[in-house]
Amino acid sequence: MSRDDYKGVIDAVKDYLDNAKDNDAPVYSSHIPGSDWSGTPYLPIYEACNDWDHARRLFGLLAWEAVIEHEDDWVFINEEKSNDTPGGKIYFLKK
């Protein structure tokens, strides 16, 4: 994955956080990229990993980095993994 692709992922997650902040909504890390990464800044993650499970895990790490770098303070809880959800983090804007 190139540096530009890496920066694109971080910036896209930060934009997602900004939108969630404006709507006072929690952020489910597993919902950010969605199930189809085609045509999104997240596709290079899959292309670099060439494995869906590894790509999801790497996305989670990059999303966490974006949260840490974000200008606002966010807190998280772990999302329970089930047949319907892949698990991940649920981020909330710290008040």
Whole-structure pTM value: 0.85
Torsion sign, CA atoms 19, 24, 28, 29: positive
Question: What is the residue-averaged pLDDT of the chain?
Answer: 89
Strand arrangement, sheet containing 88-93: 27-28, 88-93, 74-79
Higher-confidence position of 76 and 43 = 43
Is residue 89 scored above 70 in pLDDT?
Answer: yes
* pLDDT, average across residues 4-18: 96
